[in-house]
Chains A and B, each alone.
Chain A
Amino acid sequence: MDPGRDQEFAEFVDGRFTALQRFGYLLTGEWHLAEDLVQTSLTKVWFHRNSLRSGNALESYTRTVMVNTSTQWWRRKWKGETPTEVMPEPAVESQYGVVDDRDLLLRALATLPRRVRATLVLRYFEDLPEAEIAETMGCSVGTVKSNISRGLAKLREHQLVVAITAPAGKEARS
């Protein structure tokens, strides 16, 4: 191991772990899986760290590896989860409204195909422009646009998400 580069890598890991863990949670829907995903991805990244020049490239590459790894995990399970077309219970007003909303959004995200879900998270959580998402996902900008459109359309099928994804004019573009 190169101590200088390892020190730099360790600083990156300690500094960005929580942010990557949040991204991982939105990809997997479970905190313990998110931590495992981040650690697995960073281990893969370590073997390629010498070819990455800046901190930005390191973070961007880590996100790419996380998306690919989570897709691989999902493919291994191949529909181990069984999302349903219609939510079993309607959202209701309650004193636990915030928790209900979170749960509903999480379940709505779980019904999306993995790469569509990753595209939405990169666009609306990480605020990445479409060109950068395309680079991260290894696809064309057209595919990114199509995934965003498909993802939002699918989210609109769920009661809570109707309000926040209702088509209100032109989509904000990069």
Chain B
Amino acid sequence: MTDELKERLEALVADPPPPSGVPSQLVFTRVRKARRRRAAGAGGLLAAAAVAVVAVAGNLNDSKSQPPVLGPPPTTQVAPVEPPLGVQLKLTPTIKGRTMTMAVEASGTVLVPILDGAYVTPNSQGIWSLSPGADYSFGHGAASGADGGPLTCDGSKRRFTGRSTFPADPHTYPKAGTYMFTFTVRFCGLNKPVTATQQIVIK
């Protein structure tokens, strides 16, 4: 059986198109571009550090330095209050015939997961792009899910607050009836997965 699966997979990739150029040249072009970007990033950091030093030096106002003529008065720094960790889910089903599409809205604050040693950058999917995974069942045995990949929550301290909607797989129920849709999602910083349920009536 597994031999046949292997044969099918090999047949699937039997006729790859030719690469768009000499592979090594294409890769080295990207390497040079990445090196330039990294160098530019390091240069930018140095420039920012230099500007910061100049700005601080120009605003010294202790007993031995000249007070700034137009500088702002010293203010007491108040530590910003961080929003508490937690996520709320809102399920909104759309039913056409026997096909149901569930829109799942998540809102709240989570810790940003880490991938390959760096914090993950939230994308257009907002808070959903920070989830290590989700599972959902349609209430009659069929289930699906989403795998966020090799993300880790260990050592994360950065918080992200947001609200965005995730469209779950459209699902066609085999027959009319009342079903319970259950959605469970995991986020970093929460003690347990967040679960929401919604009753679905198929006529």
Contact = CB atoms under 8 A, between A and B. Distances in A.
Interface of A: 6, 9-11, 13-14, 17-18, 21-22, 25-26, 31, 34-35, 38-40, 42-43, 46-47, 68, 71-72, 74-79, 82-86, 98, 101-102, 105-106, 113-116, 121, 124-125, 127, 137-139, 163-168, 171-172
A68 B116 contact: yes
Contacts of A13: 23-24, 27
A71 B13 contact: no
Contacts of B170: 82, 84
| Interface-central residue, B23, B34, B145, by most chain A CB under 10 Å | B23
A71 B12 contact: no
A46 B29 CA distance: 12
Contacts of A18: 16, 19
Contacts, number: 135
Contacts of A11: 24
Given A25-B12, A101-B8, A78 B128 contact: yes
The majority secondary structure among interface residues of chain B is: mixed
Contacts of A72: 115, 149
Contacts of B129: 75-76, 78
A82 B169 CA distance: 6
25 contacts: A10-B24, A11-B24, A18-B16, A26-B13, A34-B16, A39-B30, A42-B27, A47-B31, A71-B148, A71-B150, A72-B115, A78-B129, A79-B146, A79-B169, A82-B170, A84-B171, A85-B172, A105-B8, A115-B147, A124-B5, A125-B13, A138-B150, A139-B150, A164-B8, A172-B2
A21 B9 contact: no
Given A26-B9, A164-B8, A10 B28 contact: yes
B24 A25 contact: no
Contacts of A167: 1
B179 to A, nearest CB: 13
Interface in B1-51: 1-2, 4-6, 8-13, 16-17, 19-20, 22-24, 26-28, 30-31, 34
A35 B10 contact: no
A86 B172 contact: yes
B166 interface: yes
Contacts of A168: 1
A31 B17 contact: yes
A74 B149 contact: yes
B123 interface: yes
A85 B142 contact: yes
| Interface-central residue, A42, A71, A75, A139, by most chain B CB under 10 Å | A75
A136 to B, nearest CB: 11
Contact of B149 (A9, A75, A101): A75
Given A14-B24, A21-B16, A78 B166 contact: yes
B145 A124 contact: no
Contacts of A102: 8, 11-12
B144 interface: yes
B148 to A, nearest CB: 5
A115 B19 contact: no
A43 B147 CA distance: 25
